[in-house]
Amino acid sequence: MTTLDKSGLRRRGFVAGAALVTAVASVRPVLAEMATVHPHHIAPSADLDWFPTVPGEQMAIHVPSAQIGGRFAVVETIAEPGAAAPPHIHRSADEYFFVQQGEMHFVCDGVEFDAAAGTSVLIPRGVAHTWVNLTDKPVRTLVTFTPGGIEQMFKELAAVFPHGVEDLAARYDTYLTT
């Protein structure tokens, strides 16, 4: 299914398990317009604080939920080849991935698929999912959590990986699955 949205972007979407996947032709004009309209919401990339999460992944928080009343959080990730998240469920947060560069392999609700650059993946709360970089190049994603707050978990993750992950995740209403 291909649609044209209000901004004029061509979208091709499909459902993979419980995840809604959308390939977007171009978002640059929309991002440029947003930067012009709301310059006080821009976080210069030079000011981002990158930190490790799981082995082979780095993350930076673009929009901390504390700045906007907890409504959402936006993070950017760089996953090296072989990096993966353990299978898990966020019980109280929806997770939206936008693959900026490379190709990420997802398993959502038991359905496997690859998401190349320009693809969006929406994982509703309560859906078991995982991702892995199966390629030989880094993958860069922009991830939005609604509501926010969970971004704080990622700041603590590297310090407890792998033995303290379950306890840490549970504090953020996230649970490992098999």
Residue 75 tokens read as 């993070």
Whole-prediction pTM: 0.79
Phi, psi (deg, nearest 5) at residue 83: -65, 145
CB 173 within 8 A of CB 93: yes
CB 76 within 8 A of CB 60: yes
Question: To which H or E segment does residue 153 belong?
Answer: helix 151-160
User: What number of CA atoms fall less than 13 Å from residue 90's CA on the CB side?
Assistant: 23
Q: CATH topology for 50-170? A: Jelly Rolls (2.60.120)
Domain limits, the chain? 50-170
Distance set, CA 170 to CA 73, 126, 150 (Å): 18, 13, 11
pLDDT per position in the chain (178 positions), as tens?
444 444 444 555 666 666 666 654 444 444 444 444 444 555 567 789 999 999 999 999 999 999 999 999 999 999 999 999 999 999 999 999 999 999 999 999 999 999 999 999 999 999 999 999 999 999 999 999 999 999 999 999 999 999 999 999 999 999 999 8
Residue 56 tokens read as 């082979």
